Structures are given as structure tokens and as C-alpha cells.
Structure 1
Amino acid sequence: MFFVYSSMFMVASILFFIMSLLFMNLGLVYMFEYDLFVLNSSLVCMTLLLDWISLLFSSFVLFISSMVIMYSGEYMYEDLKITRFVMLVVMFVFSMLLLILSPNLISILLGWDGLGLVSYCLVIYYQNIKSYGAGMLTALSNRIGDVALLMAIAWMLNYGSWNYIFYLDDFNESDSMIIISWLIVLAAFTKSAQIPFSSWLPAAMAAPTPVSSLVHSSTLVTAGVYLLIRFSNCFSEGLMMICLLISVLTMFMSGLGANYEYDLKKIIALSTLSQLGLMMSILMMGDWNLAFFHLLTHALFKALLFMCAGNVIHMMMNYQDIRFLGCLGSGLPLTMIYFNICNLSLCGLPFLSGFYSKDLIVEFMSMNYLNILIYIIFYISIGLTVSYSFRLVYYSFLGNFNFLSLSGMKEEFKYMMKGMSGLIYFVVFMGSVLSWLIFNIPYIIILPKVMKVMTLIMILIGVFVGINSFNINMFKISFFLKYKLISSFLGSMWNMPLIFTLGLNKVPVKMGKSVFKLLDHGWTEFYGARKINYLLIMGGKWFQFLSFNSIKMFFILMVVWLFIIFFI
């Protein structure tokens, strides 16, 4: 079953990729409309948009899905409900494809809600209390974006059609399109976990690792970025500046959080959040081409990074704490080679795939007219990315093996390694290939020498901090009297998970307790159901006592009766 779905997705991926090259070369855009039914003279039809963007992204989604499904065959082999798992993953992929190929807000909502519902089912897959909490946080955070999308659908009634693709260029100054663009940005921010909706992304790590590999590379979290790429023509300048600030702060926050985190999957999840902030920020600077380029290259190395992490967790008997790692190169040589290639690609090492998009984004940003705050936070965020990557390398490669003595570490899973090996070539080569394909005219970057080497300086500082973060007490300087408070604040994503779980729940739960105590178990109970019950029981007992034919009661009633007759 795994092999069948993997093969189908692989064939479809190759087909979509060839079509995208053809469409790109000839400048073709096709729209297909299929009439579903007619109701009261209203035609309901399904619309698909085929252009090089949708076809190329679809091919990447299908290729990564095929590798992940092959990988899942061995990763989930002990699961009793493995067929259900595969069906959920396939539904997830089809929801994403529906979203990518739709130029219509209604069908986008179908794919969007499909992603939300299936992701909830996958996050709670292991069925424990932590998974249920994470699933509920994920579902409710994404519902905010779903409501924004529904409101955008209502506003699109002003145009007489829900095919937004027709109206982006002509009506971008109209009030309706400004409102729609704000709603679309809100929807995208919830799905791509930007501040203040970031807390669900690390929580979603409760899902099985193959799902994390799929979710954090090319499907769920990138849906928001893809939607913004489609709507990028209709954003006003003020909206773009606000979104730029939020996305850069998201980069900074997630980079800081990853440097304090010890859970292997959460570090990679925070890394995804950082890269989403990078895509959003360059998109809000006005260049959707670069955002789309980084979206594709990031999908490749992030999927493989999660697959390598899954292999390590599998061998470590499901422990995810990086402090148990060490000297893994001797036990899992191929996995760790792949892991480090992906890490270096994430850092932007020449000439891996991440370098071509990330270096271009940073240099493009340096050529723009921006304030100093955005510039500084951008470069610090790059340094933090390198810092947590090399911290991960330090924990996994160097030192002694810190786990159990009798834990035979070896790469024995054939299909898991095949799934990972299918991606590694693309992680190395696809950046240069995509840069030749997407950009007909290369970017000309002209910068002073200091700004040109600024990226390299920040990378070297990040390497130094990442490897020496244990030996340097740089965060324990004497004037940081509240070190634990500061580290917990930075490491917990600026207390966002706390604010958006307990912060939202505390008052309603307290009020509910008071209502339960005062009303349900208080006055309404005393004067309501219990009082009526008490009166009925007492009345019944009285009549029951009368019906016992007691001679005492007979004489009393006779006296009362005579008394009434005498006086009346």
C-alpha cells in the first residue's frame, strides 16, 4: 500500500514538473471550469488554475509526499491502525493540492478547512492528554483564520464572483479589496503561525514524525505563504509595513526560542517558524518571486531534516531530548551526513540549495530602503539560525554517547533510508536549478564591502555562539539577576503558549466554577429541582400516611369534620 501511493505520487510529481517547465517556457496560464450542478438558475462550477507557480509547487508537494509515505512504511510499521494513518496523509496531500490549484475562494476554503481538520486528526493520532491539548490548540488557532477567510468570501460578493484571480490588478485601490486583503493576511498569519498565533506550531510536534516532515515542509504552514503570494498585488503599503515588522519579530522570537530548547523536534519546528518569518518578510518587501523560491528550497531540506530526526528518535527508543545524543556519527553515519547537509543548507552554506535563496533574500533586503530596526533584527535572526543549527551539530556529533549502554545504534531500516536518500540530491542541487528556472534575468546586487560581508560575519558569530553556548556564561552576566526568568521567557516563545492557553482559559474556567457552585449547586438547585422533589416527596408521604387507615387519624378527621359542621 505504501509503495503504491508513493509510486503514484512520484509519477504525478514528475508529470507536474514537466508541465510547469512547459508552462514557464511558453508563458501559459490555463483555467478549467467543470459544471457541477445548476440550482435555481445559478451555475455551481469547480475551477482549477494551471500556471507554472501552481504546477511547480504541486510537483514539490507530491514528490516530498511520496518520499514521506515510503519513509512512513517502516517508521509506523508497529502501528495497528496503519491504513488509517496512510488515508489521513493522502487526504492531507489532496487538501493541499486543492488549495494550490484553486483560483476561487470557495474551493480554497475547502482545501484550507481540509488541511485544518486532517491536521487535527494527525496531531491527536497518539491519543494521550498532551496530544489532545496540542490538537485543540492547533485547531482553535486555525479556526480564527478560517473565519477570516469566510468573511473574505462574504466581501467578494461585491464583485459578483469568487474567482479572486480576475480582480487583483484592476481593483487593488477599492475599499472592498483593501478589507479582503486584511482578512487574507489574518488567515495566512494563523496558518503560517506568525506572531501572535505562533504557539500552535511547536505544540503540533505531538504528531508522528513523518506527519511533521510533511506539515512543516510543504503543506500546512506554507499554505498561508502561498495564499499571500497569490494576493501579493493587492496589498497596501501600510499593511505591508505592519506585516514586515510582525514577520521579522517572528524570525527573531523563534530563533531565540530554538537556542534555549532541548526537544529535537521542537528545535526544528522553531526553525520552520523562523524560515516562515523570512519568507513573509521578503514577501512584504514586495518580491514574491524570492519568497516562492525560498518556499521551494526550504521544503526540501526541512522535510529531510525531520526525517533524519525521526530516524534518530526511532533509534533512541522514542527519546527526543538532545542531551541524550552524542557521537551519533559512528552509529548512524549516513543519517548524520544527511542531517548535517540539511543543517548547513538551512544556515546558507555555499553552494547548497538554501544558500541560493537565503543569500539572495538577505542581499535584496540590504538594497532596500528600510529602518535600522528591521535591518538589525534581520541580521541577528540569521546569526541565531546558525547558532541553533551548530548547537544541534554539537550535541549530536561531539562528545560521548549519552544514552543507554545497550542501545544498538545502526541503520537497519531500508525504506526509511531510501525515502531520505531520494531527497538528499535535491537538497544539494535544486537551489541552483530553481534559480536558473525561476529568474529569467539574474538579480544584480551592488553593495558596499561591509554590507556584502555582513551575512558572513553574522554566520561566523552564530557558529561561535552555537558551539560555545555551554562554555560561555554569556547569558549569566552578574547584572542578569533574574537569569532563570529571562531564559524561561526567551525559551518559551515570549510566554505566548502560556498567554494563549491559560491566559484565555483562566477567567472563563473560574467563572464557570463560580456559576456551577452558586447556581447549579446553589440557589437554583435549592429552590429549583431539589425543592420541587422535596415537596413532592413530603406530600406523597402525607397522603401515604393518610391511606394507612390509622384509627387515630380516623378519630382526628371525625373531630375536625364535626367541628366544621357545628361552626358552619
Structure 2
Amino acid sequence: MSFRLDKAKVGGMGLLVWSFVVLLVGVSLDSPAIVEWEVYSTSSCYYSVVVALDWLSMSFGWVVAYISSMVLFYSSSYMSSERYLSRFVWMVFFFILSMNCLIFVPSIWGVMLGWDGLGITSFVLVVYYQNSGSLSAGMLTALTNRVGDVFLILAIYMFFSQGQFGLKSVEGVCVSSALVFVSIASITKSAQFPFCSWLPAAMAAPTPVSALVHSSTLVTAGVYLLVRLSSSLGELELGALTFLSCFTLLLSSMSANVEHDLKKVVALSTLSQLAMMVLALSVGYSFLAFFHLLVHALLKALLFMAVGSIMHGFNGVQDVRYMGGAFYSMPLTVFCFCVANLALCGFPFVGAFYSKDLIVEGLLSGGVSLVVIITVLLSAGLSVSYSLRLSYLAVFSYNKGSCFSNSVDKVGEVLPMLGLAVGAVCGGVFFQSIFLGFIEFFFMPTELKLVLLVVLLGALVGSLLCWSSSKSKVLEVSFSEHLLSTLGFLSPLSSQPLAGKCLRLSGLLYKQLDQGWMELISGEGAFLAIKKLGVFHHRYQSMRFNAGVGGVLLFGVLVVIWLLPH
């Protein structure tokens, strides 16, 4: 037991040291640096690995390393009773390595290795708990992400056709089509509509995995790739991203107000924040989208850790209707939970206030559609309502579940959360002053600031949704609640037709082709044919035919069989 715990803590310490190295190098860089390593060269072919060290990669690399170190420290206590903790730690390391490959290698080779590494490792981590629910969630995650992987492979092929290996803009019809495919791949990985059903389903993974996946790795890979290619995207791609992100933003925010599963509410909040990042990027504020990505990563990892500790305190219960009273028994955990919620809501001068306020003011002064502005403001009010709902039901209300609970602050879980609480509170002002260095100021007239009152309308709508869901009984669900909790029926439509049909079709092809016709006309069939020819030749010999005639006959038959496929 001690060896497994030490392995997680040593890994966390190594990642923490690496995060400080990345931070120091990123702060000391005056200009972007490119490090190129020649792997192989012959004749006119030249293969090399390029590592980009700029403020974009260094800031994101620091966030990934710092959050991963806190997650491993947290896992050493949270998963101390797990039998396969060593295997879990190695898979987390492979997951982090894939993300760093995607971040620091600005070529299609690095993107492909990191992209597929994230997909494979995420499937393994989602099915960590070996039961039918985890398997179905893992299959839905894998199949949905493979749709995006196919488009990414097509985009890489089109980049190859133009002789382009780096993530730079190149003129040509093929590259324009490749950018469309890259956009589709990015929205599948970042769970935008209609590929958003896998994100709540991935909650079947352990909570430390959710803290890592939903903050700074898998779901943000698509947004990071779009930020890298934002200057090359055309009007078609940007318009489609605007429409899909607005719909995802509103749908996920409303669904979070009627959801009762604690982890799924946090997952839906991740979905809404990802939609806000994609929306900011699609209207021309790619740096603001990246700024919000960094700040959101720190606070969302903290929120997931606090949620995991609260669930442990209530003996694994995830339904908020059976929780309450955690404030009295887990004060430090509740403190971190409330800090993360305030930072997520955009409380003044805390966490996401800096990024969300700049995005909203940029939309108001940037000449975008009024529908987009109203959607963002409504979602901001809805985020406040579901955050307050979670805080009240899980923390400040009376205990509505079992009186037998082991809710108590654990040092091994509280210390990593306190480490992330500093980042959640100070991350916004830190990134704004150190990495981004904004020099633009927004001045809005009073009439335009009155539009911000739409946020109150969103909070009112969210309160009504919360009140209607609280009145429903545990085993009775209304049509509207079922519609929102399934993301507009996307969850059943994605799981049954997609996964079920694909699995049945693959089983049919395996039975009819791999074990059917392919065996008859290839390996097994050829073996049986040669065996029968050997028996036939033996009979000829036993009937005292000329051995030379029999050999020539057998040789001729074998030549004819060899020529048939040609």
C-alpha cells in the first residue's frame, strides 16, 4: 500500500517541479523560440521534431503540469484503497504526455500523436471501474471522438497534398477543406452540439480523472487547436462555430439547472464554459478564449476535487437531493467548493471574472449579433443559478440522506485543493498581467451597460427551472425535465443508435467476413484445398499412376490456384 501511495506522490512532485520549470522558462522568454531536432534525413527527405516555446504553449503547459501534479497528490489519498492504483498513475502519465505532445509540437505529426493518445487513454480511464455503466460510457466517448479523428486524418491528408507539415496557413482549395475538417474534429473533442452527449457520460471515470479531463486536457484540446488555427479559419467555419456554440451554451446551462447528479452538473458547467470559449473564438477574440481556457482549467479542477471529497463524505451518493449539511463536518472542503463556485460565476476580482467580463464587454462593443449577446448573458445568469443551487443543496441545507456518514476533511485531499484554490482566485489577474498583457480598454456607454440586466433574467429562468425540478418526485420526471436532462434527447439518440448499430454492424461484418468468406477464400480455404489435393495426389500414387505425371498434375493445379487472385 505504501509503495503505491509513494508512486503517486513522487509523480505529483515531479510534475510540480516540471511546472515551475515551465513557468520560469515562459516568463523569461522575450520572444518565441523554436527548437528543432533532426530525426532522419536522406536524399530529398528530411524528418525533424519541432518544439515551439511561445507564450501560448508555455502558459498552457504550465497549467497542465500544475493541475496534473495536484490531481496525483489528491489521488494518493482519494484512491488509496484502489487495487490498481499503480496502473492508474501510469495511465495518467501517458495522458499528460499526449497532451504535452499536442501543445508543444506544432506540426500535424504532433497533433496526430497527441490527439490519438488522448483518445485511447481517455477510453481506458473512463472504463477504469469495470462495470456495464462504465463500458457504455467509454464506448460512447470513444465512438464520438473517433468521428472527429476521421475528419482529422482527412485534414492531415489534405495538408500532405500541399506539402504542408506545420500548423500554418497555406493557400489552396485542399487546405481550405482541411480547415473545415479540423473544425469538425475540434467540436467533437470539445463536445459542441451535436457531439455533446459524451461529456456527461464520461463522468463514469474516477473523480481525479474528471478533474484532469474536464479542466485542462481532453476537452480543451479542440479549443487549443482552434486557437492555433484561428487566423486561418474562414467565414464558413467561424459562422458554423458561432451557431453551434450558442446552442450548446444555452442548452447546457439550462440542463445543469434540472440535473440532480452532482458530477453531471459540474460536467454540464464545463460544457457551457467550453461553448463560451468557442463562441469568443468564432467572433474574433481567440486570445480571450485562450485566457478563459487557462482560468477555467484551474477553477474546474478545484471544483471536481471538492465534489469528489463531498461525495466520499456521503458514502458515494451523487444525488444532491440526498445531501446537505457538509458545511459543519467538512469546512475546508466546503471552503474550496465555494471558492470554485464563486470563481466560476465570475464574482468580482476572483477567477473567471477577468476573462468572462472581457468576453462579455468585447461582444457588446464588437458589433456581433444581438442574439449572440442575449445568449451569453442568459447563460451567465443560468450559471449563477445552478452554482447557487449546488451550494445550497449539497452544503448549506440540512442533511436529507443517511445519518451514517464519514464526512470529514482529509489532509491528503485538502492540501491539493488549497493549492488549486490559490490558482482559482489569483489565476485571472496572474495570466492577465504576466502572459497576456492586455493593452486595450473597453469603454461602454450607460445605455449599453443596461443590457447586462439580461443576466438577471437568466438567473430568474434558472431559479424557475431549479424550483420545478425540486418539486418533482424522485421517480417522477416531467417531459421538460427529461428533455433538458438528456440534452434535447441527444444522450439516448447517441448511445442507442450510434453505439448499438455500430456494434451490431461490426459483429455482423466480423462473422460474415473475418470468420466467413475471408476464411473460405484465404487462409483456411487454401489450406483445405491443398490438403484435398494432397489426398488426390496420394490416391493417384496408390493407383500406380506415373509419379512424374502426378507431380506435374499437382504442380499445374497449384499454379492455377496461385494465378486466380491475379
Shared fold by TM > 0.5? yes
What is the deviation of 1:438?
A: 3.7
SS, match of residue 260 in structure 1 = coil
Following the alignment from structure 2 to structure 1, what is the Cα–Cα distance between the partners of residues 508 and 32? 61
1:534-553 correspondence runs (5 A): none
SS state at 2:352 partner = helix
Render the CA deviation track for 1:323-363: whole Å, top value 9, x for unaligned: 11112110111111111111111111101011000011011
Residue pair 1:391, 1:469 contacting (<8 A) in 2 also: no
Q: Which residue among 129, 134, 137 is the counterpart of 2:137? A: 134
Partners of 2:250 and 2:339 in 1: CA distance: 23
Amino acid at match of 2:256: A
Aligned to 1:321: 319
Shift of 1:40: 7.0
Distance 1:102 1:468, change over 3 A: same
Q: Is the contact between residue 191 and residue 221 of structure 1 (CA under 8 Å) also seen in structure 2?
A: yes
Distance 1:371 1:216 in 2: 29
Distance 1:268 1:466 in 2: 15
Deviation at 1:268, TM superposition (A): 0.3
Instruction: Indicate the SS of the match to 2:368.
Output: coil
Quick check: 1:68 aligned with 2:62? no
Match of 2:97 among 94, 100, 114: 94
| Residue 57 of structure 1 pairs with residue 60 of structure 2 | yes
Q: 1:215 offset after TM fit, Å? A: 0.3
1:192 lines up with 2:194 in the alignment: no
1:503 aligns with 2:493: no
Q: Helix, strand or coil: the match of 1:47?
A: strand
Q: Which residue of structure 1 aligns with residue 560 of structure 2? A: none
Q: Are 1:174 and 2:172 counterparts?
A: yes
Task: Supply the AA of the counterpart residue of 1:107.
Answer: G
Aligned residues: 504
> Which residues of structure 2 form unaligned runs of 5+?
1-6, 511-566
**Aligned ranges 1:77-92 → 2 under 5 Å:** 77-92=80-95
Residue 421 of structure 2 corresponds to residue 424 of structure 1 = yes
Say whether the 8 Å CA contact 2:257–2:466 is kept in structure 1. no
Match of 1:379 among 366, 374, 377: 377
AA paired with 2:485?
A: G
AA in 1 matched with 2:402: L
* Distance verdict in 2 for CA 1:337–1:464, change over 3 Å: farther
> Are 2:27 and 1:21 aligned?
yes
Contact kept? 2:258, 2:469, Cα under 8 Å: no
Mapped to 1, the partners of 2:406 and 2:508 lie a distance apart of 55
Counterpart for residue 454 of structure 1: 451
* 1:3–1:471 Cα change, 3 Å: closer
CA separation in 1, counterparts of 2:294 and 2:80? 30
> Which residue in 2 is equivalent to 1:404?
402
- 2:345/2:352 contact within 8 Å kept: yes
The amino acid across from 1:373 in the alignment is V
Matching residue of 1:331: 329
**Distance in 1 of aligned mates of 2:501 and 2:225:** 35
> Could you tell me how far apart the structure 1 residues matched to 2:509 and 2:153 are?
34
CA change 1:510–1:200 in 2 (3 A) is closer
State the Cα deviation string for residues 28-80 of structure 1 (Å, max 9, x = none).
22222222234676333222111111011101100000000000001111111
| Secondary structure of residue in 2 paired with 1:160 | coil
SS in 2 for 1:164: coil
> One-letter code of the match for 1:216?
H
Partner amino acid, structure 1, of 2:297: A
Secondary structure of 2:47's counterpart equals strand
Q: Report the alpha carbon displacement of residue 379 of structure 1 after superposing the two structures with TM.
A: 1.6
RMSD: 2.6
The aligned amino acid for 1:195 is F
2-side partners of 1:286 and 1:426: how far apart?
Answer: 27
Of the candidates 141, 156, 161, which is equivalent to residue 159 of structure 2? 156
Taking the aligned partners of 1:83 and 1:389, their CA distance within structure 2 comes to 35
Amino acid at match of 1:154: Y
Asked if the contact 2:249/2:276 (under 8 Å) is kept, the reply is yes
Deviates more, 1:355-364 or 1:366-375: 366-375
Report deviation, 1:507: 6.1
How far did residue 161 of structure 1 move? 3.4
Q: Which amino acid aligns with 2:118?
A: L
Look up the match of 1:4.
10
1:246 aligns with 2:244: yes
Residue by residue, what CA displacement relative to the aligned partner does 1:516-568 show, whole Å, maximum 9, x if unpaired? 9xxxxxxxxxxxxxxxxxxxxxxxxxxxxxxxxxxxxxxxxxxxxxxxxxxxx
Q: Deviations over 1:88-138 (max 9, x none)?
A: 001100110000001110121001100000000000000100100110111
1:307 aligns with 2:305: yes
Q: Deviations over 1:479-505 (max 9, x none)?
A: xxx992222112210111111222335
Is the Cα–Cα contact under 8 Å of residues 390 and 466 in structure 1 kept in the other structure? no
Hey, what does 1:121 align to over in structure 2? Answer: 124
Whether the 8 Å CA contact 1:382–1:458 is kept in 2: the answer is no
Partner of 2:264 in structure 1?
266
396 and 51 in structure 1: CA distance in 2 versus 1, 3 angstrom threshold: same
Distance 1:417 1:249 in 2: 37
Residues in 2 aligned to 1:515 and 1:156: alpha-carbon distance in whole angstroms: 32
Aligned-pair distance for 1:240? 0.7
CA contact (8 A) 2:361 2:442 kept: yes
Could you say if the C-alpha distance between residues 508 and 107 of structure 1 is closer, same or farther in structure 2, counting changes exceeding 3 Å? closer
CA 1:402 to 1:117, structure 2 compared with 1: closer, same or farther past 3 Å?
A: same
Mapped partners of 1:361, 1:178: distance in 2: 28
Q: Which amino acid aligns with 1:322?
A: V
- Given residue 405 of structure 2, which amino acid in structure 1 is its aligned partner? S
Q: Which residue identity does 1:487 align to in structure 2? A: E
1:35 and 2:33 are equivalent in the alignment:
no
Percent identity over the alignment is 38
Structure 1's 79 and 39: CA in aligned 2 closer, same or farther, altered over 3 A?
Answer: farther
Return the alpha-carbon distance in structure 2 between the equivalents of residues 52 and 513 of structure 1: 48
- CA shift for structure 1 position 241: 1.3
C-alpha separation between the residues in 2 aligned to 1:513 and 1:419?
Answer: 45
Is 1:390–1:467's contact at 8 Å kept on the other side of the alignment? no
CA distance in 2, matches of 1:270, 1:335: 21
Residues 82 and 40 of structure 1: CA distance in aligned 2, closer, same or farther (over 3 Å): farther
Match of residue 111 from structure 2: 108
The residue that corresponds to 2:529 in the other structure is: none
* Residue pair 2:277, 2:292 contacting (<8 A) in 1 also: yes
Residue in structure 2 matching 1:436, options 417, 433, 438: 433
| Residue 321 to residue 59, structure 1, CA distance change in 2 (3 Å) | same
Q: Deviations over 1:376-430 (max 9, x none)?
A: 222211111111111111212333111211223211x211111101111111112
Letter in 2 for 1:36: V
Tell whether the 8 Å contact from 1:151 to 1:183 is kept in structure 2 after alignment.
yes
Could you tell me how far 1:442 is from its partner in structure 2? Answer: 3.1
| In 2, Cα distance between equivalents of 1:437 and 1:329 | 36
Question: What is the rounded CA distance, in whole Å, between the counterparts of 1:432 and 1:364 in structure 2?
Answer: 18
Shift of residue 156 of structure 1? 1.0
Return the index of the structure with the highest Cα Rg: 1
